[in-house]
Amino acid sequence: MISPTALKKLAAKHGTPLFVVDHSELRANYAMFKKYLPRVQAYYAVKANSDPAIVRTFYKAGASFDVASMPEFENVHENIKHLPAKARQDWIWDKIIYANPIKPIETLRELNQYKPLVTFDNFEEIKKIKKHAPQAGLVLRLKVANTGAMVELSSKFGASPGEAVDMILEADRQGLTVEGLSFHVGSQTTNFENYVQAINLSANIYQEARDRGYTKMNLLDIGGGFPAPYDASVKPFRELANVINRELDRLFPKGVQILAEPGRFFCATAATAVSKIVGKAVRDGKLCYYINDGVYHTFSGVIFDHCHYHLKAFKKGPTQICSVFGPTCDALDVVSMAENLPENLEIGDLLYSEQIGAYSHASSTYFNGFPPAVVIHVNE
């Protein structure tokens, strides 16, 4: 991570609020994933942080990409414009999965020219794909356990296992090709059993599909959910990788392609937010600091990602439990109601928050007229 001294220098040069991205950390996280899951091709979930510079770094490192909208698709597509047309088409098939199970008709029409790989999880989506993107390859997303995940996804997406093969056969009847299966165990999943159950369920559905005459599947997408090391309660990634490798090797032959969609794991630890104290008050006996960044900006994950980001001060001194508020006039703009910070901080002093690279700046708005933090890239 970037040192406090370096952060202070950047703040002095660029002002605040800042969102500082360390690309050496991005590359290290990608290398760790490949080291411990060598059989798995990583498709970076662009929604975690869609900054084009981050996309370029992962592209250069060898990553593929999980996109969920046409702007995300175009973001990735910008990085391959130098390739010849035929190579570009092959790259899209091998390097991009459109992993949003529900797609607008306009999106399907636009995607069709690329013969994309897309996910689906219901019968209505089969009809839409057949009519508007018949050149697509399909991946059926399954509903799996999300127990212990910080962000649960199974109530919104995923085909019931009991209907899965019926959907595969219906897509086949419509003249579409189902290339394989996918699942998502929920974001920031620390319950490794979710992966075990999901991989075993996928193997069972593979077998049922074969038993009922469908033999075209050759792909398994194990989704995202790989936990970022926010604190000591998160077990080392290698332990999760050992669990996944064991089940994959036991249940899926080497010829089956294995994909994954890491987002948070790749970028969470690679960014630090730097903000400035713009106000200070004591309310009901509690010290309150107001900073020039908040939940409508870099700290949006407090609301949208169920995440808590700890703040640190550059200045030392006796500490107490404080409240930290963002700069807007909305009472929702609460960064933390219980942050242990020095009591001697003054207006103009700086705070910083580490491990804030995922699902944070990507959701920034201009609410109340306050602009998002300036993004600074280091070690590109």
**What domains does the chain contain, in order, with CATH numbers?**
4-19+269-378 (2.40.37.10), 23-268 (3.20.20.10)
Q: Looking at residue 38, what DSSP letter applies? A: T
Residue 330 reports pLDDT greater than 90: yes
pLDDT reported for residue 147: 62
Residues 6+ positions from 337 with CB-CB distance below 8 Å? 323
Q: How far is CA 145 from CA 23, 186, 199, 315, in A?
A: 33, 8, 11, 45
In three-state secondary structure terms, 186 is: coil
Taking 50 as the threshold, does the pLDDT of residue 77 lie above it? yes
**Active-site entry in 267, 288, 322, 329:** 329
- What burial letters (b/e) apply to 248-273, b meaning 16+ CB within 10 Å? beebbeeebebbbbbbbbbbbbbbbb
Name the band, by pLDDT with cuts 50, 70 and 90, for residue 232: confident
Among 282, 288, 271, which residue's Cα sits nearest to residue 327?
A: 288
Could you tell me how far CA 229 lies from the centroid of its own chain? 14
Label the pairing between strands 374-378 and 18-22. Answer: parallel
CA nearest to 114, candidates 80, 152, 140 = 80
Does the active-site annotation cover 322?
no
Residue with the bigger pLDDT between 248 and 186: it is 248
The confidence band for 154, taking pLDDT boundaries of 50, 70 and 90, is: low
pLDDT-derived band at 325 (thresholds 50, 70, 90) equals: very high
Does the structure show a pLDDT above 70 at 262? yes
Residue 159: pLDDT band by 50, 70, 90 thresholds?
very high
User: What integer pLDDT is reported at residue 155 of this predicted model?
Assistant: 66
The Cα–Cα gap between 124 and 139 comes to 15
Mean pLDDT of 71-83: 83
User: Could you tell me the two tokens for 183?
Assistant: 């699942």
- Percentage of the chain lying above the pLDDT 70 cut: 94
Decide if 29 contacts 267 (C-beta within 8 A). Answer: yes
- Amino acid sitting at position 34: K
DSSP assignment of 237-260: HHHHHHHHHHHHHHHS-TTSEEEE
Residue 244 token pair: 């996944």
Could you tell me the CA-to-CA distances from 232 to 193, 194, 219, 262 in Å, in that order? 19, 20, 34, 20
